[in-house]
Structure 1
Amino acid sequence: MRPLFCSILLGFASVSVAQDPLPAAGSASPIAVNQVGYLTDGPKRFTSPLLKTGAFSIQTVKGNKTVYKGAINNHLGDFSGFKPANGAGEYSINIKGQKGTSFPFSIERNLYQEQFWQPAINFMIDCRSVVGTHPSAYGGCPWRDGTYYSYEVPSLLWLYAADPVFMEGMPRQINWQEDKQRVLSPEFRYDEKNPQSEDVMEAVTRYYTELEPPADKAPDAVKLIHWGLGFYLMKPYTKDPSQDILPKQIHGQVVAQFAHFLYAWDKLKLNRWIARSFYDKCLDFVLTHWKASGGLAIDPNWSTSTYSEPIKTDSGWVLKILHPYKGRHVPGHSILPNLYMYQVTKNRFPVLARDFINAAKNQTRWIIDSLDWNIPGATKGQRGGEFKTIVNLVWFLKNMPDQAPGELQHKIEEWAQVVVSRSDNMWDFRRYDLVDHWTIPEMNETGNLAGFPACALAAASVLKEGTLKSRLTEIAYAHIDNLFGRNPKMAAAANRPHKGYPLVENGWPIHYKPDVCARLELCRGGLDASPGTEMYPYNPQGKFRHPEGWIIWNASWNVSLAFLQTSRPAHENKNGADAAYR
């Protein structure tokens, strides 16, 4: 059996990267599965793109023993009812009358946490600007290729809150003192030939010399949270280097990351690891900059009237303007930070607290009245940031129902209905629209795949039991499957699976050119690419999209991993933080 956990601590298993993923040798009909595997009690589905109906069986890889039988309907096979004991070995799927089998996969009760959490943290460690795996800071933010909307710190807080005990049991890899000594040494050579990277070394120097460090024994996730916010305290003015018209400034979404931390301070008992003086600096930062950075307002860029439309050319669809497709201005992104700051300030600063709660109400009311889920740019078109809208709305409804505006429940249900209506296909894949586009026009949308489970599981948590809720949950898990091989290319999103995903047989077959941009090829646990419209519904030789990862992809993935954990039955998530953090 492939190793389940021990080999992913450092993530450098000796595995070659596949150059061109193909169906298993001798197979007359491809069988697309999640190559990592499935949760015992979760939805378990595969796609047979060339065979609409038929019979299938599941065999153990070791011993080739048949352990389950089922039927293929509309190219889909469902084996959710198969719930083997943990540690029973790997499995593969065989289609009656066809040669060959699917790639092997595992079924374990805690598979996703065991397989995905350490690589997720590894990526955040390696991708740090200057101090990570490359001495540069593309974009000038705490993480290479980061920007004001990339949500790194909140994503780490969500993940930590989902199971603090598991997180605290992870190996410690960050050594603050050693990192300080290395990057402040006269021999250290910072690579400043990157956009927006000026003043970074000054910020890093001040971070290591002016702030009290996190506790030596703090989990890496906490040290990363300290790093991200500490860096921004030293260098709060940023600019997105990728065709953004906004100037360098203190962006509201940077300030919002501090609000997440302030709310989590007591919930997660972060005073065990981080000095109170650091908390005070973060609180002062929010109180100084939140209103000025637009946190209390309704951003004009939320309006779908500002969205650009893709243009059809002889060579394909083209995006002349990247709004909303970068996900810079996700509607309602400031709702949850306002709610958090209301909770943080309601006793000490009641006048300020009133401003925060009123802003959250007004912003939520705007979404209810003004945002049309049927416009693709308002949902999937937000790329890696869509989850912010849905998670924020759901949190408001679940945790402050007496304060939430009316019709919020109905608005969330409408979103779920649109998602389900766009997912009736053999991949259980939420399309961009039902006309020309399966995926976001032109762009790589891996982050949307990674973040979508958070959207769907959050929304499902406030739906009544029934078909809509169960189908939405099924689609959420299908997007994890898509990331790890259940897609037309039958390839996982990681093009270097040996750096974090040892159970993956076929990684993404093309790589982004190395040693340019953010040097993400040096990071463990990266997610790089996925099929675009050109490969759907089943055209594995279709045109490739841009094959480069992005810190936003992994931040989105962190949030989905958190919701995958907290959405499980209580007896399977005993270590999660109190429900108010979910």
Structure 2
Amino acid sequence: MHTHARFLPAFVTCGLALSAMAHGAGNLATGAAVKASSEKTEGPAKNAVDGVESDESRWIANANNDKNPWLEITLAQPADIAAVDVYSGWRSEAQLADFDISVWENGQWSLTDAGRVRGNKEDVRRVLVSARNVTKLRLSLPSGGPGRIREIAVYGAADEAAGTGVKAVVRPGGPVARNVHQIALNQVGFQTAWPKRFTAPLSPDGTPFIVRAASGGSPLFQGVIKGNIGDFSDFKPADSDAEYVVEVKGGTLRDGTSDPFWIRTDLMKERFWQPAVDFLIDSRSVVGTHPSAYGGCPWRDGTYYDAILPALVMFQMADPARIAAMPRQIDWEADKKRVLDPSFKYFAGDPGGKGALDIARRYYQEFEPPKADAPDVVKLIHWGAGFYLLNPATTDPSGDPDGRKIHSQTVEQVAYVIWAWPVLKQWLPQSFYDRCKTLCFENWKPSLENDPLTDPATYKPISVLNQGSGMGGDLNPFKGRHAPGHSIVPNLLMHEVAKREKRADAGKYLDAAVVQAAWIVKTLDWNDPRTTKGQRMSEHRTIPNLVWLLKNYPDRAPAGLKEKIQQWAEVAVHRGDNLWDFRRYDEDSNWTIPRMNDVGSIVSFPACAVAASWAVDDPALKRRLLELAVAQADAAFGRNPRLAASPSLPELGFTGIERGWPVQHTLNICARLELCRGSISGSPGTEMYPFKPEGRYRHPEGWVNYGASWCISLAYLNASNAGNLPGL
């Protein structure tokens, strides 16, 4: 792990104390009197100045009877004011768009142009107001409505740190200083031949930057900031253990120095592949780092749509030599002895966990084991497929209306195993293949049809995410359960298996894949973000599947398929045109899916962008897709508004991360994934974009579905220059 503390970005660690020393006043609304034109019982006016910013402490006007709501604050004593921060909205619903801030000075109300706010899309909006000897100020709603004001803070200085004097705003991680050139980049590092970009969110165009050795010395590369982005892709040093930093200097801001990072030819394999495998070792149900089975699947909190088996197969195929060189950690015989011991303590209280211990014990008793020298990836494939052979009917514990059954996507996962058998058979017994093959062919009928829940007609509006917990129930498509085209590649794999087995029905699987792809060409509109980023971590089941068909069966590709993939690429590139190179959710106010943890979408996107780059002809579009693919990976490891990497406990499995995610999932509940190495937990939501690092955090959790998506993206990134995934 890097140890160069002097390179950490400048954070305001005690925002309130530092601001008070600098300006002497802090939040002038503290202790102020307040009244309103109306208020609801659950949202009294006093909540707007109680120093607490939260959904549970808001002023809510009675919009039914009050057509011109206002809130008036009387300061404890006259004061000169320069800034008013207005915190508005509810959960991830829209913020207060239109409002006026008037001040009472010299015996009369004064409203300046700066005080007229229209079209606001920020949950924390700073209004600059230059007024002297103010005793009162008023927030008015010219368009009416409930207001939903979480808090109002008043400051005597325009550069007062955001969140000063407001609880729950100075969140874990602390405020970020605005008087320094902040530098957000991948804290771990960069692959030598790939794009190397960073974001300097406060630095104006033309500001110079350099890259130098972290240990000091003269510049090794020089450039300038453009659109808050620095690009040093042309800096390609020879492989070494040296670390580098970016320095940005100039203008009115203090000099900024980045986190140290590596640049190496195979950095992704060296720093990310082993943690990705470690995560899937540790998160196994029953035998992993916690003796439980939340959800009742092979991996804790796994689901029929987690795509873990496809991820493992793709990982194995991506670089068999690399996988074979990894240390052997799974000891099948030792795990068997431990689980079969009558004194084995199993926690059966989780949803879906009842019966999982019996399944695990049957697994060790009924199946021939993998060879002892099999790579851990292969042993994980044996574990996952074996568990499903014994327990094919599952249910998603997050309120999935589909209920318990043998889901088509469960069977589709096992199809990857039998397709890859020519590679796997050197370590796995023939009897295992025979059982997997039987499961697939006997339960394949639903996968020949188009999954009805992939139809946009079944999609919910984003407002559904503000109902209840926002994480369970019928949330199609936002939960990621039914990605369009999820059956395309599985059908292509079954086509190849059927040919290998000399079955007469081999053609029907290819025909089904073609029909499903044609349906996507005809039906999906990529301009609707629910068909793209709205699929969350499961988007890799759509675009890469279409590309797989186009590349490997070009004579059967439906009309318009290549053009459809290019259209997706153009939409993605358009939505990624910002200072973060971040493919956002829509072009309105949502950078991410409202309310939900977005990290799964981030780590899934590289697979989509790399695959799409293989299908487009325009060299500039190809290059930009790779830039975006790398940028999303960078976002997961530090190039984001919070200037933090996604793992909340980076010391478990990762190297080179200075600051992990500042918040973590509640310990010792649900799937206990905080106990796993290589867990990827959280990322900024819309509340922190474009640069509001003190914004509210989303629910952090290192879901196994995210781990699978990351494996798949790592496999695609590894093949980015090859133009296709490795075949058999």
Q: TM-score over 0.5 for the alignment?
A: yes
Aligned amino acid, residue 43 of structure 1: P
- 1:345 to 2:521 alignment: no
Shift of 1:2: 4.4
Structure 2 distance, partners of 1:578, 1:90, is 32
Which residue does the alignment assign to 1:452?
A: 605
Q: Which moved more, 1:432-441 or 1:397-406?
A: 397-406
- Measured against aligned partners, the alpha-carbon deviations of 1:319-367 in whole angstroms (never above 9, x if no partner) come to 8841101110000100100000001102535432122111111111100
Three-state SS of the structure 2 residue aligned to 1:448 is helix
Structure 1 distance, partners of 2:174, 2:613, is 34
Shift of 1:262: 1.1
Aligned runs of 1:52-451 on 2, under 5 Å?
52-53=204-205, 54-87=207-240, 89-97=242-250, 98-266=254-422, 269-291=423-445, 294-311=446-463, 321-451=474-604
Structure 1 distance, partners of 2:691, 2:468, is 18
Q: Which moved more, 1:86-95 or 1:345-354?
A: 345-354
The answer on whether the counterparts of 2:597 and 2:700 sit within 8 Å (CA) in structure 1 is: yes
Aligned amino acid, residue 412 of structure 1: I
The answer on whether the counterparts of 1:26 and 1:99 sit within 8 Å (CA) in structure 2 is: no
Query: Match for 1:528 among 672, 681, 686?
Result: 681
Distance 1:78 1:22, change over 3 A: farther
Return the structure number with greater strand share: 2
Structure 1 distance, partners of 2:218, 2:518, is 57
Structure 2 distance, partners of 1:313, 1:525, is 28
Distance 1:485 1:27, change over 3 A: farther
Query: Match for 1:36 among 188, 194, 210?
Result: 188
Structure 2 distance, partners of 1:316, 1:239, is 20
Shift of 1:549: 1.4
Three-state SS of the structure 2 residue aligned to 1:311 is helix
Which residue does the alignment assign to 1:12?
A: none
Structure 2 distance, partners of 1:178, 1:156, is 22
Structure 1 distance, partners of 2:474, 2:338, is 41
Structure 1 distance, partners of 2:709, 2:361, is 29
Aligned amino acid, residue 174 of structure 1: I
Structure 1 distance, partners of 2:218, 2:675, is 40
Shift of 1:65: 2.9
Gaps of 5+ in 2: 4-170
Q: Which has the higher contact order (CA 8 A, sep 6+)?
A: 1
Shift of 1:59: 1.5
- 1:549 to 2:722 alignment: no
Shift of 1:407: 1.2
- Measured against aligned partners, the alpha-carbon deviations of 1:344-402 in whole angstroms (never above 9, x if no partner) come to 10253543212211111111110011111111111100001001101111111111111
Which residue does the alignment assign to 2:643?
A: 490
Shift of 1:100: 3.5
Which residue does the alignment assign to 1:11?
A: none
Distance 1:475 1:114, change over 3 A: same
The answer on whether the counterparts of 2:249 and 2:256 sit within 8 Å (CA) in structure 1 is: no
The answer on whether the counterparts of 2:174 and 2:694 sit within 8 Å (CA) in structure 1 is: no
Shift of 1:464: 1.4
Three-state SS of the structure 2 residue aligned to 1:57 is strand
Distance 1:68 1:347, change over 3 A: closer
Aligned amino acid, residue 197 of structure 2: R
Aligned amino acid, residue 502 of structure 1: T
Which residue does the alignment assign to 1:8?
A: none
Q: Which moved more, 1:319-328 or 1:203-212?
A: 319-328
Distance 1:80 1:421, change over 3 A: same
- Measured against aligned partners, the alpha-carbon deviations of 1:83-122 in whole angstroms (never above 9, x if no partner) come to 0111151111111223240111111111110000110010
Aligned amino acid, residue 442 of structure 2: T
Shift of 1:66: 1.5
Structure 1 distance, partners of 2:600, 2:236, is 30
Structure 2 distance, partners of 1:534, 1:474, is 24
Shift of 1:489: 0.2
Distance 1:313 1:150, change over 3 A: closer
Distance 1:27 1:261, change over 3 A: farther
Three-state SS of the structure 2 residue aligned to 1:280 is helix
Structure 2 distance, partners of 1:34, 1:22, is 20
Structure 2 distance, partners of 1:555, 1:48, is 31
Structure 1 distance, partners of 2:716, 2:175, is 32
Count residues in correspondence. 556
Gaps of 5+ in 1: 4-17, 571-576
Three-state SS of the structure 2 residue aligned to 1:73 is coil
Structure 1 distance, partners of 2:561, 2:465, is 40
- Measured against aligned partners, the alpha-carbon deviations of 1:241-297 in whole angstroms (never above 9, x if no partner) come to 10211121000010001111111112xx21110001100110011011111xx1111
The answer on whether the counterparts of 1:21 and 1:509 sit within 8 Å (CA) in structure 2 is: no
Distance 1:442 1:464, change over 3 A: same
The answer on whether the counterparts of 1:26 and 1:100 sit within 8 Å (CA) in structure 2 is: no
Structure 2 distance, partners of 1:84, 1:527, is 29
Shift of 1:465: 4.3
Shift of 1:27: 6.9
Structure 1 distance, partners of 2:656, 2:509, is 46
Which residue does the alignment assign to 2:727?
A: 580
Three-state SS of the structure 1 residue aligned to 2:417 is helix
The answer on whether the counterparts of 2:465 and 2:475 sit within 8 Å (CA) in structure 1 is: no
Three-state SS of the structure 2 residue aligned to 1:472 is helix
Three-state SS of the structure 2 residue aligned to 1:500 is coil
Structure 2 distance, partners of 1:348, 1:103, is 54
Three-state SS of the structure 1 residue aligned to 2:447 is coil
Distance 1:419 1:317, change over 3 A: farther
Shift of 1:313: 10
Aligned amino acid, residue 727 of structure 2: A
Structure 2 distance, partners of 1:185, 1:313, is 44
Aligned amino acid, residue 305 of structure 1: A
Larger C-alpha radius of gyration, 1 or 2?
Answer: 2
Structure 2 distance, partners of 1:464, 1:50, is 36
Structure 1 distance, partners of 2:678, 2:385, is 22
